[in-house]
């Protein structure tokens, strides 16, 4: 049993008090998540400069070429996605509510992603970088589209990450990278989902406490982020437990599986002899819960296992169900698409890979190296 689970079992069931919420935040985010592959084999420095962390969004489709929405393919550095969204709205003279994007991209990085603007305006392309809110951006393409770009619509993100001042045995690092490329990683939500010091979880707990007590609270457009942080932390607890008992990539009685890179779930036939080989090849993955409203789709051993792991937080699960947040499942394992790496110099490692939307590059990097303090909060792309 993890320290987080032991600590949380000693806590009162109510989380309405500030001290109790603080303890729950610590319990849900305590320590690094366990890796199936053991401790990291190196120490490295990340993000010495924005170009050390390059993210390119992959939609999986193209704008239609006509319609009432202006679609912009934008490269940015030194600013986050929300800031750029506001900047584009100001430049086009429209409300920020009319600007849409699919995924949040990090501020301290060089990123490329699509935005859509409900506007008949045109955008004149140019090679010069434009400055805004402490960062820079430039629009590389402008197309017309029939519909707005919706959150989570993109298929994947391509990463090119440079680790500097790498300390470790090159042979051990190479072996670890080959292992990750062949067998994948545990599909944890990264620490940036929870905010600095777990603040998003704390806000989510406060929101649930206010809803439960009937106290009025001013609505905040970040509420969905806070609720998502709670569900993500609970998922990480289940995944960590399955990593510890070495079943994170195995099919247990009652499991629901997911095809690699797909969202659809299915219940395997226990007599299907192809399930185990397909799991071994990374074509199928077991799933874990994102708690919410709705009956569990797992049963037997998995239902009992998840109930035991989540028992300390049943009050949170009940509150999420009362909010009518739909219960969902997420793959426990994540495969790297088209991974590659090279050493430009003896202490510099460049790693490239593609991850499905919603996956965290943090989980890949932490399986290889301990990243120098102060860097993890900024490693994200959704």
Query: How far is residue 201's CA from residue 255's CA, in Å, rounded to a whole number?
Result: 28
Query: How far is residue 337's CA from residue 16's CA, in Å, rounded to a whole number?
Result: 43
Task: Tell me which residues are annotated as active site.
Answer: 106
- CA 243 to chain centroid, in Å, comes to 18
pTM metric for this prediction: 0.86
Three-state helix/strand/coil letters over 285-296: EEEEEECCECCC
**pLDDT band at residue 164, thresholds of 50, 70 and 90?**
very high
Q: Is the pLDDT of residue 69 over 70?
A: yes
The tens digit of pLDDT for each residue in 271-317 reads: 899 999 999 999 999 999 999 999 999 999 999 999 999 999 999 99
Query: How far is residue 276's CA from residue 286's CA, in Å, rounded to a whole number?
Result: 11
Query: How far is residue 129's CA from residue 104's CA, in Å, rounded to a whole number?
Result: 21
Facing residues of 132 across strands? 135
* pLDDT given at position 106: 86
**pLDDT band at residue 372, thresholds of 50, 70 and 90?**
confident
Query: How far is residue 95's CA from residue 74's CA, in Å, rounded to a whole number?
Result: 19
Three-state helix/strand/coil letters over the chain: CCHHHHHHHCCCCCCCCHHHHHHHHHHHHCCCCCCCCCCCCEEEEECCCHHHEEEEEECCCCCCCCCCEEEEEEEEECCCHHHHHHHHHHHHCCCHHHEEECCCECCCCEEEEEEEEECCCCCCCCCCCEEECCEEEEEEEEEEECCCCCCCCCCEEEEEEEEEEEECCHHHHHHHHHHHHHHCEECCCCHHHHCHHHHHHHHHHHHHHHHHHCCCCCCCCCHHHHHHHHHHHHHHHHHHHHHHCCCCCCCCCCCCEEECCCCCEECCCCCCCCHHHHHHCCCEEEEEEECCECCCCCCHHHHHHHHHHHHHHHHHHHHHHHCCCECEEEECEECCEEEEEEEEECCEEEEEEEEECCCCHHHHHHCCEEECCCCHHHCCEC
| 36-40, 207-211, 251-255, 272-276: the lowest-pLDDT one | 207-211
Contact 192, 225 (CB under 8 A): no
Query: How far is residue 40's CA from residue 364's CA, in Å, rounded to a whole number?
Result: 11
The tens digit of pLDDT for each residue in 26-60 reads: 777 766 689 999 999 999 999 989 999 999 999 99
* pLDDT given at position 9: 36
């Amino acid at each position: 049993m993890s320290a987080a689970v032991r600590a949380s079992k000693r806590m009162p069931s109510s989380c309405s008090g500030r001290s109790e919420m603080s303890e729950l935040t610590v319990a849900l985010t305590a320590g690094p998540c366990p890796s199936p592959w053991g401790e990291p084999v190196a120490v490295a420095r990340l993000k010495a400069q924005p170009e050390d962390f390059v993210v390119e969004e992959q939609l999986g489709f193209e704008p239609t070429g006509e319609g009432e929405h202006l679609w912009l393919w934008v490269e940015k550095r030194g600013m986050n996605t929300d800031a750029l969204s506001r900047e584009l709205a100001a430049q086009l003279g429209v409300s920020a509510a009319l600007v849409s994007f699919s995924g949040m991209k990090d501020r301290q990085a060089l990123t490329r992603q699509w935005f859509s603007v409900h506007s008949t305006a045109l955008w004149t392309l140019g090679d010069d970088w434009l400055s805004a809110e402490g960062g820079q951006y430039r629009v590389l393409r402008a197309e017309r589209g029939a519909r707005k770009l919706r959150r989570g619509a993109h298929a994947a993100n391509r990463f090119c990450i440079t680790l500097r001042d790498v300390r470790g045995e090159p042979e051990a690092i190479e072996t670890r990278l080959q292992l990750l490329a062949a067998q994948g990683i545990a599909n944890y939500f990264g620490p940036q989902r929870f905010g600095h010091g777990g603040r998003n979880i704390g806000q989510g707990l406060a929101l649930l406490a206010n809803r439960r007590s009937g106290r009025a609270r001013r609505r905040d457009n970040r509420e969905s982020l806070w609720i998502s942080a709670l569900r993500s932390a609970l998922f990480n607890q289940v995944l960590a437990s399955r990593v510890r008992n070495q079943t994170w990539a195995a099919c247990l009685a009652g499991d629901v599986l997911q095809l690699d890179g797909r969202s659809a779930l299915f219940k395997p036939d226990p007599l299907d002899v192809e399930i185990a080989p397909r799991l071994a090849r990374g074509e199928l993955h077991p799933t874990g819960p994102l708690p919410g409203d709705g009956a569990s789709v797992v049963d037997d051993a998995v239902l009992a296992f998840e109930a035991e792991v989540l028992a300390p937080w049943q009050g949170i699960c009940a509150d999420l169900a009362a909010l009518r947040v739909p219960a969902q499942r997420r793959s426990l394992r994540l495969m790297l698409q088209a991974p590659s790496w090279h050493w430009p110099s003896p202490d510099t490692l460049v790693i490239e890979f593609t991850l499905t939307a919603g996956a965290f590059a943090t989980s890949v990097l932490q399986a290889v190296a301990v990243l120098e303090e102060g860097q993890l909060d900024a490693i994200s792309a959704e």
